[in-house]
Structure 1
């Protein structure tokens, strides 16, 4: 499975709860005092597959039930506690209390907490417990519509999570089950960060801990120190990602080899966070995201301390590279330039963040752009000249080329 990551920006939705209380809490409740709820896994859980679609930001979007109502959700093992969007109709403001703040990609966010009665995902049900509440903008999923929930490690980690990316479905199983064979890698639930963690090797560097984050739409992210220690000589550029607290610019390279346990992955896209970035701030070496995981059928089972990978047919196909140097987002019937990549043809021809594109080779942008053949232009054949029409009527030709 290959997604055109440069049609739209692969977005991040990572949240690590810091459990820091507000200076003046109003009816606040600390994480340690919260009801954890009681979990039930159906005897026939193996039959309870949950279908999902991949958002333009590479995250798994599906439907589940909260308090008996259908809500949209994203599976996000990089979130410590399941998060409900403040704007969701599922929020009951009469039950909402202060919940402290958290570190997130781009900065920090303020949290609330809401107790719940019932919650259900596939063969898993929970009574009692609650959800964290905060702002969850649509840009965190890379699509025009926001979702209600990010389903975090608190709901997932007690079970094995079997993700069949090729069939666009997942299921929750009893820990210890092994529904398929493949390359294994270590996996644990971090006691420090309450998220899934593993280990990777890049060049000369063993990277640990690496957060395994199904909510991160990018492939692999490493700290600046980890990248330097890997001592790889490959060209790089820049990219932008979005977390709950805002945008973050990072380096971007494609490396010939990356190892995760017994798995050796070829031609892997790697983002390099600047010094002091999110991973460094929380004491992690980086993240393994959905952009990497989607090349395999994956079993995540922290209870059995293992992750299992079964290769898809195109697991080692080189990722698409931008040949335009423009990373764009959809705004209804136009594209907004979110980042001009370092060293690319767009940077050399005067493009700026915020430029608005309404036509490509004379064809207008429509609401179906993300899934249309038109969206392939930004990673098109080197040497092709693309005619981009700005929304102010200006026409700009852009000659595509390979630059990293």
Structure 2
């Protein structure tokens, strides 16, 4: 589990964009000529039966910004993450290995933290609520162990744009539920314009930052960050950073500059208090993409998305969601087995002033043995100005004074 300081942000959007026509209807996908770099099984995708009422409402955990729903994978209960940031339908390699699924390696693209091996496997079925697989088909397989960093160790499926791009779908944050519908089921004449982005593989829109248009901007429900921008956008909008933050991707961990957005507009919505990271490496699937919006912003709205109709409707939650937590310590880490393992120390933070560093392990706070409850309920939400004595697991003592630093 992530500790209650600042979460290490998650994104799988860094997967290599492949020319597999991910957003075309299933019947068209089956007729596509297979690119020479992809296994032949990629043309043999699952085919689904869609009832008139769609999938029906499916509940998800309200404690997580990432949307994880129950599904049925090859006849067995499983959990799936809803991720508009990937152009694949993905099954975890751990599941594939445990169930002896045949694997064919086909690419090793760059991702956050490093390259990630991709495989394909044939004859997979996936049922999502009332939507049933009528013909098994091929999906992508990849190592999803990095999801452990977000407490998502049991996620075995990532539902990306090959499904989400065909359906209309809704995220009801007020009631913690999700559903898939046939495109056009809910008209959205006044919705935010959306479209298929560069390489026919990303869900994008247009935003404004500090009065400057930023286009195209990717919408990524698989990222728990708020906003990410390119270095060019940071320079053009005169964006200032106050610290840095670590993000976990399919290939490992990376650190990006972090700062507050003073003027951020998404459609007709002026988003206040949002923070952005600057992505110095291009992990978004296309060099043309200029920014990314994650669930750190989208969690504040109930969403209806219909890519076929080219519209997305955002309705503010009632009552509004609680403001995002901002660290007063600067420690990013994991609480496990009676210790807090430090993964990253945010720059200009109290943790940096206390000379903590990645790899340190904390076994006690104010002489109390580390536990998840101690970290999240006692330490992480202590008032700015509070002093705490940290006992490292090697016996070293450090004093940290909490304060707002970004």
Name the TM tier (shorter chain): 0.7 to 0.9
Aligned partner (choices 65, 76, 84) of residue 83 of structure 2: 76
Match for residue 100 of structure 1? 107
Distance 1:80 1:251, change over 3 A: same
Gaps of 5+ in 2: 21-35
Post-superposition, which runs of at least 4 consecutive aligned residues in structure 1 deviate over 6 A?
none
- Pair 1:325-2:362 in alignment: no
Partner Cα distance (1:90, 1:43) in 2:
36
- Pair 1:162-2:170 in alignment: yes
Partner Cα distance (2:297, 2:5) in 1:
15
The answer (yes or no) to whether the contact 1:325–1:378 under 8 Å persists in 2 is no
Partner Cα distance (1:9, 1:29) in 2:
33
Q: How does 1:5-404 map to 2 (within 5 A)?
A: 6-19=5-18, 29-30=38-39, 33-45=42-54, 48-53=56-61, 58-88=65-95, 92-93=99-100, 95-126=102-133, 127-139=135-147, 142-143=150-151, 145-178=153-186, 184-190=191-197, 192-232=199-239, 234-274=240-280, 276-279=281-284, 282-313=287-318, 315=320, 318-366=323-371, 372-374=376-378, 377-378=379-380, 380-404=382-406
Distance 1:117 1:386, change over 3 A: same
TM-score w.r.t. the length of structure 2 is 0.86
Shift of 1:235: 4.9
Q: Whose strand fraction is larger, Structure 1's or Structure 2's?
A: 1
Distance 1:90 1:123, change over 3 A: farther
1:71-115 Cα distance to aligned partner (Å, 9 max, x none)? 122111111101111111576545322222334222321111012
Cα RMSD, aligned residues only: 3.0
Q: Secondary structure at the match of 2:259?
A: strand
Equivalenced residue count is: 389
Partner Cα distance (1:316, 1:227) in 2:
28
Gaps of 5+ in 1: 22-26
Distance 1:124 1:191, change over 3 A: farther
Q: Secondary structure at the match of 1:178?
A: coil
Shift of 1:357: 1.5
Shifted more, 109-118 versus 88-97: the winner is 88-97
Shifted more, 116-125 versus 90-99: the winner is 90-99
The answer (yes or no) to whether the contact 1:82–1:132 under 8 Å persists in 2 is yes
The answer (yes or no) to whether the contact 2:42–2:120 under 8 Å persists in 1 is no
The answer (yes or no) to whether the contact 1:381–1:400 under 8 Å persists in 2 is yes
TM-score w.r.t. the length of structure 1 is 0.86
1:169-189 Cα distance to aligned partner (Å, 9 max, x none)? 10011212338x897322123
Partner Cα distance (1:145, 1:32) in 2:
28
The answer (yes or no) to whether the contact 1:55–1:143 under 8 Å persists in 2 is no
1:219-239 Cα distance to aligned partner (Å, 9 max, x none)? 11111111111124x552100
Shift of 1:265: 0.9
